Amino acid sequence: MSSIFAQLNAELGGVVAGVQRSVVHVLNNRGGAGAGTIWHPDGLIVTNAHVIRGGAPRVRLPDGTIVEAEVIARDDQRDLAALAVQAHALPTIQPGSARRLQAGQWVFAIGHPWGIANAVTGGIIIGANRPLPELPQAGSEWVLVDLKLRPGNSGGPLIDTGGRMIGVNTIMTGLASGAAVSVDAAKAFLKQQLGSPVADTVLKNMPTEYV
């Protein structure tokens, strides 16, 4: 039995390590920081709008390089933002879908809580694909999770056990619970805000069940 757990641990560790290569550190001029994910190898990054409220964001790429970022789209209602950096051949996240998520499924959140780079926390889905009118960002669909999110997790990916991104970590809802904006809301945001040429480039290789 122990060998089964060892194999599972190794597989999940490999999945998380693969995703970590597509997670960036978003820095703003107020000294705050959050996370973001690379959606296109030529420098398109998705994060939360509240992560960049200080303006003039900079991004620490997976190789440690810090570059200036341009805010190319922002939606405060969804709490989403798209950034562009001058970089190429970057490792990208694999977007999944929140449409078929069920309560009890295992998930992982990656970010930089309290400045700890690429930290990982795990838990389960509480509920998915629903609006939460009581939260400030009322226009989004949410994935509710039973895991600990902390300052610095915002903008980072919530992933399933296959390494697919299912949400953008956004808000703490309790001591050991949080909520992520659905990745499907992030896709809609890109299509609406960036225009068809960019959106088509970003999404064209995505499996049809995830679009």
Q: What is the pLDDT of residue 2?
A: 73
Asked if pLDDT for residue 200 goes beyond 60, the answer is: no
Do 78 and 104 lie in one domain? The reply is no
Active site residue 154: yes
Q: What is the pLDDT of residue 104?
A: 96
Residue 5 covered by a domain: no
Active site residue 184: no
Q: 181: which DSSP letter?
A: E
Q: Bigger pLDDT: 162 or 5?
A: 162
Do 179 and 191 lie in one domain? The reply is no
Do 104 and 47 lie in one domain? The reply is no
Q: What is the pLDDT of residue 139?
A: 58
Q: Name the pairing type of β-strands 66-75 and 33-40.
A: unpaired
Q: What is the pLDDT of residue 115?
A: 85
Q: 209: which DSSP letter?
A: G
Q: What is the pLDDT of residue 211?
A: 34
Confidence of residue 208 (pLDDT cuts 50, 70, 90): very low
Residue 112 covered by a domain: yes
Q: Using one digit for the tens of pLDDT, what is the confidence trace for 107-129? A: 999 999 998 999 999 999 999 87
- What is the amino acid identity at position 180? A
Q: What is the pLDDT of residue 160?
A: 97
Confidence of residue 203 (pLDDT cuts 50, 70, 90): low
Q: Using one digit for the tens of pLDDT, what is the confidence trace for 57-84? A: 999 999 999 999 999 999 998 999 999 9
Residue 211 covered by a domain: no
Active site residue 50: yes
Do 86 and 99 lie in one domain? The reply is no
Asked if pLDDT for residue 196 goes beyond 70, the answer is: no
Q: Using one digit for the tens of pLDDT, what is the confidence trace for 6-57? A: 888 888 889 999 999 999 999 987 666 899 999 999 999 999 999 998 778 9
Residue 7 covered by a domain: no
Q: For helices 196-203 and 183-194, what crossing angle results, to 10°? A: 140
Do 124 and 176 lie in one domain? The reply is yes
CATH number, residue 180 = 2.40.10.10
The active-site residue, picked from 50, 75, 140, 182, is 50
Using DSSP's 3-state secondary structure scheme, residue 51 falls into helix
In the chain, pLDDT over 90 holds for what percent of residues? 67
Q: What is the pLDDT of residue 209?
A: 40
The CA-atom distances, in angstroms, between 24 and each of 28, 109, 111 are 13, 14, 8
Nearest C-alpha neighbor of 145 from the set 96, 178, 175 = 178
Q: How far apart are CA 44 and CA 36, in angstroms?
A: 10
Q: How far apart are CA 42 and CA 84, in angstroms?
A: 8
How many domains, the chain? 2
Residue 30 covered by a domain: yes
Q: How far apart are CA 126 and CA 97, in angstroms?
A: 16
Range of the domain at 196: 16-90+186-202
Do 79 and 156 lie in one domain? The reply is no
Q: What is the pLDDT of residue 207?
A: 39
E-assigned strand segments in 41-174: 44-47, 58-60, 66-75, 80-85, 94-95, 106-111, 119-131, 141-146, 157-159, 164-174
Q: What is the pLDDT of residue 201?
A: 56
Backbone φ, ψ for residue 195 (5° rounding): 90, 160
Q: Using one digit for the tens of pLDDT, what is the confidence trace for 78-108? A: 999 999 999 999 999 999 999 999 999 999 9
The active-site residue, picked from 75, 79, 160, 184, is 79
Mean pLDDT over residues 157-171, rounded?
Answer: 96
Mean pLDDT over residues 127-133, rounded?
Answer: 73
Q: Which residue has the tokens 């933002």?
A: 81
Q: What is the pLDDT of residue 31?
A: 61
The active-site residue, picked from 154, 160, 182, 184, is 154
Q: How far apart are CA 48 and CA 57, in angstroms?
A: 12
Residues 91/38, Cβ–Cβ less than 8 Å: yes
Q: Which two tokens stand for residue 36?
A: 């973001």
